[in-house]
């Protein structure tokens, strides 16, 4: 399974200008990718022996967000009223990926480029972004005739990898501004102004120079193929390039900086997923769940078995129980048992006859070369990577993001295993007061990078500051929160300093891969294919191991104000030219909400209107408050906030607030991952949704299939009589 493997479509965008450059016509390079149809994943898509996904059993489709990116590029062309700009679609993949290019031609693409070569296969995100960036350079030179007024437009992420890493890495390779998580565009004052999602709200920005990379998180106006265009698309030539045509520097498995070491099915959800047939029964389970609550709220935690111990600290020098895979652990167990049986206490005592006896006992599980590698593994005592365990802090308005505290807690755990220190890199302006809280949360050293130009988050300026600190101190591990900010910054920084990156981890653990000469490495576990499989990944060909981790999964340590730490000021040379975006407007949630309440009821887009939200939410919150004798707070999905049902401060989820109440009730909410991340530590989740196949039903404890309009009044009445 590949982490990256992005197919890109290049699109030309027209009509953009900025304060710095006036563009009369822009072109658009749209990146598209062919992906397995994850909606078709059923149990028979998995190999029963290995538990891995058999990709051949799934049909291939165009990545949905890339179709939105294509439509978005077309929309940009339309609103700028410039019909001359070209849309060039680009994909990297096997020859059959030509299908997705024809799809783009039948909608709006003018030209298409297929980057295909066996040598490009097996790539991670670095070895995907790199050749795509080189192909973009060639498109600009040969198709756009070196005209630099262009946008690279891509879907925010693909459903197979879900990393959202490739577009920012392309921006890094091409040294272009990157605007991620875009949900809208306007053409005003002869330039495009983009609305994008940020932590806690949204922002309108424009790039300070062109070209620029844009990743589209949502565009609701699909493009359809006409009969005439479909016929033309089938006859049009697809430009094909191989690896020799683009001269990329990182390709295929060799050019990758991460390696997948294990793929396995996700564990069964700890949620009950129990269907309730009527409002009376729902009222009963709701009251029972509230009364029987035991305060246990860590259903989302990355609990690990047994903390890692360095080889030099193990009681038994042949103890290799911290190998990264079960197979390696078992093989070492066979080996060490046999060594004990033979009375061997030093590797140097093992002679040819002993080797033969060990191989006979192994019964073919491992052969001569593997045995030699395993024996060499016993000689390793030093960790493969050296240095501190770092967290890159996220903060705004003088407050540290909760996900940063969770990561400091995790970093403490990892550093203690490695007998190392926890460092936190913080970039900003007037941020020294944050150091105290970060030390109390578990950090030893705070690396403060202060500059007026870092006052507001700008991807290029912050990337320069953080990359500079990393390449000065070279920590062995760097963790970032998988927030919109972290998921943009981390790929740029890691690519820039030449390191691998694993996105959106839900498990981080230190283990060995002694047979391959690796000790104390970071195993990074993450969901892939829409959560249908889990993959454990390790870093290679890098000086530092980097990962973004999902908010709400790692545990924050209770603050200890007696902890002592050091503040190290790191100076970075920045100038105005390092600022890539002009921020035109920022909208953040304001107001008072008590998300510490024991019961939180959230409304989604399924509430239909602000009036409905007010009426039904008011009725249910009052009824619950009276019956349970506790405060009930109102929450909302991002879609409900965007519809104007309630103010943004009530938003729950990845870019809203993460909560962990005793009872969470989701009304007309589909269960998107960005929403559910925010409620992962809730004790009991109850959902009401009219769609019998709503994804939230697989992630909750109790659910009822019904409309909110019918179910809520019935539930309120049932609560009164219960």
Contact with ligand FAD (CB under 6 A): which of 139, 408, 489, 708? 708
List binders of ligand FAD among 189-208 (CB under 6 A).
Answer: 197
Which of 528, 694, 674, 529 lies closest to 40 in space, CA to CA?
Answer: 529
> In sequence order, what are the beta bridge partners of 201?
198, 588
Kindly report the backbone phi and psi dihedral angles of residue 23, in degrees, each rounded to the nearest multiple of 5, phi listed first.
Answer: -110, 125
Alpha helices in 428-507 (DSSP H): 434-440, 459-473, 484-496
Q: Could you tell me how many helices (H) and strands (E) the chain has, helices first? A: 19, 31
The reply on whether position 587 binds ligand FAD by CB under 6 A is: no
Let me know: does 446 contact 142? Beta carbons within 8 Å.
Answer: no
C-beta closer to ligand FAD: residue 621 or 688: 688
CB of 473 to ligand FAD, least distance (A): 30
Let me know: does 40 contact 58? Beta carbons within 8 Å.
Answer: yes
For residue 228, the surrounding DSSP H or E stretch is helix 227-235
CB of 159 to ligand FAD, least distance (A): 13
- Give the separation between CA 66 and CA 7, rounded to whole angstroms: 9
Let me know: does 61 contact 35? Beta carbons within 8 Å.
Answer: yes
Let me know: does 669 contact 653? Beta carbons within 8 Å.
Answer: no
Segment lying near ligand FAD (by CB under 6 A), choices 72-80, 346-354, 559-567, 599-607 = 599-607
List binders of ligand FAD among 93-152 (CB under 6 A).
Answer: none
What is the end-to-end Cα distance of the chain in Å, rounded? 51
The reply on whether position 605 binds ligand FAD by CB under 6 A is: yes
CB of 65 to ligand FAD, least distance (A): 9
Contact with ligand FAD (CB under 6 A): which of 3, 165, 544, 654? 654
CB of 712 to ligand FAD, least distance (A): 9
Contact with ligand FAD (CB under 6 A): which of 114, 512, 668, 716? 668
Chain centroid offset of residue 607 CA: 29
C-beta closer to ligand FAD: residue 161 or 324: 161
The reply on whether position 651 binds ligand FAD by CB under 6 A is: yes
The reply on whether position 639 binds ligand FAD by CB under 6 A is: yes
Segment lying near ligand FAD (by CB under 6 A), choices 30-38, 283-291, 526-534, 685-693 = 685-693
C-beta closer to ligand FAD: residue 515 or 648: 648
C-beta closer to ligand FAD: residue 500 or 656: 656
- Give the separation between CA 198 and CA 196, rounded to whole angstroms: 6
Q: Residue 153: helix, strand or coil by DSSP?
A: strand
Contact with ligand FAD (CB under 6 A): which of 15, 324, 604, 660? 604
C-beta closer to ligand FAD: residue 311 or 486: 486
C-beta closer to ligand FAD: residue 4 or 656: 656
- Give the separation between CA 242 and CA 165, rounded to whole angstroms: 23
C-beta closer to ligand FAD: residue 293 or 674: 674
The reply on whether position 653 binds ligand FAD by CB under 6 A is: yes
Segment lying near ligand FAD (by CB under 6 A), choices 279-287, 320-328, 333-341, 638-646 = 638-646
> In sequence order, what are the beta bridge partners of 663?
599, 684
Which of 142, 156, 148 lies closest to 111 in space, CA to CA?
Answer: 142
Query: Using only C-alpha atoms, what is the Rg of the chain?
Result: 27
Q: Residue 245: helix, strand or coil by DSSP?
A: helix
Contact with ligand FAD (CB under 6 A): which of 243, 321, 325, 674? 674
Segment lying near ligand FAD (by CB under 6 A), choices 222-230, 327-335, 418-426, 670-678 = 670-678
Sequence-ordered strand ranges (E) for 73-175: 87-92, 111-115, 150-155
C-beta closer to ligand FAD: residue 661 or 668: 668
- Give the separation between CA 392 and CA 401, rounded to whole angstroms: 11
C-beta closer to ligand FAD: residue 343 or 591: 591
Segment lying near ligand FAD (by CB under 6 A), choices 73-81, 473-481, 495-503, 667-675 = 667-675
C-beta closer to ligand FAD: residue 622 or 691: 691
357 Cβ contact partners less than 8 Å away, ≥ 6 residues apart: 338, 342
CB of 487 to ligand FAD, least distance (A): 8
The reply on whether position 638 binds ligand FAD by CB under 6 A is: yes
For residue 453, how many other CB atoms are within 10 A of its CB? 18
C-beta closer to ligand FAD: residue 29 or 694: 694
- Give the separation between CA 685 and CA 663, rounded to whole angstroms: 6
- Give the separation between CA 258 and CA 535, rounded to whole angstroms: 12
CB of 690 to ligand FAD, least distance (A): 4
DSSP letters for 493-548? HHHHTT--EEEEESEEEEEEEGGGTEEEEEEEEEEEGGGTEEEEEEE-S-SSEEEE
C-beta closer to ligand FAD: residue 37 or 709: 709
C-beta closer to ligand FAD: residue 63 or 654: 654
C-beta closer to ligand FAD: residue 67 or 476: 67
The reply on whether position 670 binds ligand FAD by CB under 6 A is: yes
Which of 241, 170, 246, 254 lies closest to 212 in space, CA to CA?
Answer: 170
Kindly report the backbone phi and psi dihedral angles of residue 427, in degrees, each rounded to the nearest multiple of 5, phi listed first.
Answer: -110, 135
Segment lying near ligand FAD (by CB under 6 A), choices 81-89, 185-193, 308-316, 636-644 = 636-644
Contact with ligand FAD (CB under 6 A): which of 185, 217, 246, 434? 217
C-beta closer to ligand FAD: residue 454 or 652: 652
Kindly report the backbone phi and psi dihedral angles of residue 703, in degrees, each rounded to the nearest multiple of 5, phi listed first.
Answer: -145, 160
CB of 125 to ligand FAD, least distance (A): 17
The reply on whether position 181 binds ligand FAD by CB under 6 A is: yes
Residue count at the site for ligand FAD (CB under 6 A)? 32
The reply on whether position 611 binds ligand FAD by CB under 6 A is: no
List binders of ligand FAD among 463-492 (CB under 6 A).
Answer: 484
C-beta closer to ligand FAD: residue 536 or 689: 689
Let me know: does 100 contact 34? Beta carbons within 8 Å.
Answer: yes
Segment lying near ligand FAD (by CB under 6 A), choices 37-45, 564-572, 622-630, 689-697 = 689-697
Alpha helices in 26-106 (DSSP H): 64-79, 98-105
**Sign of torsion, CA 363 366 372 373?**
negative
Instruction: Give contact residues for ligand FAD (rule: CB under 6 A).
Output: 181, 197, 217, 484, 604-606, 608, 637-640, 651-656, 668-670, 672, 674-675, 678, 689-691, 694, 707-709
């Amino acid at each position: 399974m590949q982490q990256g493997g992005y197919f890109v479509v290049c699109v030309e965008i027209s009509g953009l200008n900025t304060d710095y450059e006036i563009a009369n016509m822009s072109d658009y390079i749209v990146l598209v990718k062919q992906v397995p149809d994850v909606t078709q994943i059923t149990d028979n898509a998995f190999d029963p022996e290995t538990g891995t996904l058999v990709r051949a059993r799934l049909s291939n489709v165009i990545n949905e967000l890339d179709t939105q990116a294509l439509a978005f590029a077309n929309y940009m062309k339309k609103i700028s009223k410039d019909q001359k700009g070209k849309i060039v679609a680009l994909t990297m993949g096997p020859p059959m990926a030509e299908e997705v290019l024809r799809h783009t031609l039948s909608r709006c693409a003018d030209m298409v480029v297929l980057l295909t070569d066996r040598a490009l296969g097996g790539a991670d995100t670095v070895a995907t972004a790199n050749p795509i960036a080189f192909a973009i350079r060639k498109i600009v030179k040969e198709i756009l005739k070196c005209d630099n007024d262009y946008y690279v437009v891509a879907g925010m992420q693909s459903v197979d990898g879900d990393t959202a890493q490739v577009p920012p890495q392309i921006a890094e390779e091409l040294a272009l501004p990157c605007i991620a998580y875009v949900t809208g565009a306007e053409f005003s004052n002869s330039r495009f102004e983009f609305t994008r999602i940020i932590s806690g709200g949204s922002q309108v920005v424009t790039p300070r120079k062109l070209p620029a990379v844009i990743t589209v998180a949502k565009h609701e106006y699909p493009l359809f193929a006409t009969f005439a265009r479909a016929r033309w698309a089938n006859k049009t030539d697809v430009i094909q390039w191989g690896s020799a045509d683009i001269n990329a520097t990182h390709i295929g498995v060799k050019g990758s900086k991460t390696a997948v070491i294990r793929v396995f099915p996700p564990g069964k959800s700890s949620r009950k997923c129990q269907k309730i047939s009527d409002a009376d029964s729902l009222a009963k389970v709701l009251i029972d769940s509230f009364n029987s609550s035991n305060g246990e709220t860590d259903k989302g935690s990355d609990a690990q078995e047994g903390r890692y111990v360095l080889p030099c600290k193990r009681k038994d020098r042949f103890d290799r129980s911290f190998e990264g895979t079960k197979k390696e652990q078992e093989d070492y167990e066979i080996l060490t048992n046999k060594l004990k049986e033979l009375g061997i206490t030093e590797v140097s005592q093992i002679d040819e006859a002993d080797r033969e006896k060990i191989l006979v006992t192994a019964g073919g599980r491992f052969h001569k070369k593997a045995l030699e590698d395993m024996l060499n593994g016993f000689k390793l005592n030093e960790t493969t990577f050296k240095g501190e365990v770092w967290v890159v802090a996220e903060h705004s308005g003088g407050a540290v993001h909760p996900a940063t505290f969770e990561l400091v807690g995790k970093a403490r755990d990892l550093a203690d295993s490695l007998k190392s220190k926890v460092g936190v890199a913080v970039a900003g302006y007037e941020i020294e007061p944050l150091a105290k809280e970060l030390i109390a949360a578990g950090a030893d050293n705070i690396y403060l990078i202060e500059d007026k130009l870092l006052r507001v988050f700008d991807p290029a300026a912050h990337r320069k500051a953080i990359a500079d600190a990393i390449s000065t101190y070279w920590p062995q591990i760097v963790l970032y929160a998988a927030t919109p900010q972290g998921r943009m910054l981390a790929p740029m920084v890691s690519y820039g300093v030449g390191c691998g990156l694993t996105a959106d981890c839900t498990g981080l653990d230190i283990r060995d891969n002694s047979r391959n000469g690796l000790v104390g490495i970071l195993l990074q576990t993450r969901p892939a294919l829409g959560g249908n499989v889990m993959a454990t990944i390790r870093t290679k060909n890098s000086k530092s191991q980097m990962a973004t981790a999902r908010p709400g999964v790692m545990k924050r340590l209770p603050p200890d104000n007696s902890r002592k730490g050091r503040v190290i000021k790191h100076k970075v040379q920045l100038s105005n030219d390092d600022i890539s975006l002009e921020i035109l407007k920022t909208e953040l949630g304001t107001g008072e909400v008590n998300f510490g309440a024991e019961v939180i009821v959230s409304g989604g887009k399924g509430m239909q209107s602000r009036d409905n939200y007010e009426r039904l939410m008011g009725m249910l919150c009052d009824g619950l408050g009276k019956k349970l004798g506790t405060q009930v707070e109102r929450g909302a999905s991002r879609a409900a906030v965007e519809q104007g049902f309630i103010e943004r401060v009530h938003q729950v989820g990845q870019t809203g607030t993460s909560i962990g109440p005793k009872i969470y009730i989701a009304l007309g909410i589909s269960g998107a991952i960005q929403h559910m991340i925010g409620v992962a530590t809730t004790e009991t989740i109850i959902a009401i949704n009219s769609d019998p196949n709503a994804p939230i039903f697989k992630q909750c404890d109790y659910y009822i299939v019904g409309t909110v309009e019918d179910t809520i009044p019935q539930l309120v009445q049932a609560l009164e009589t219960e």
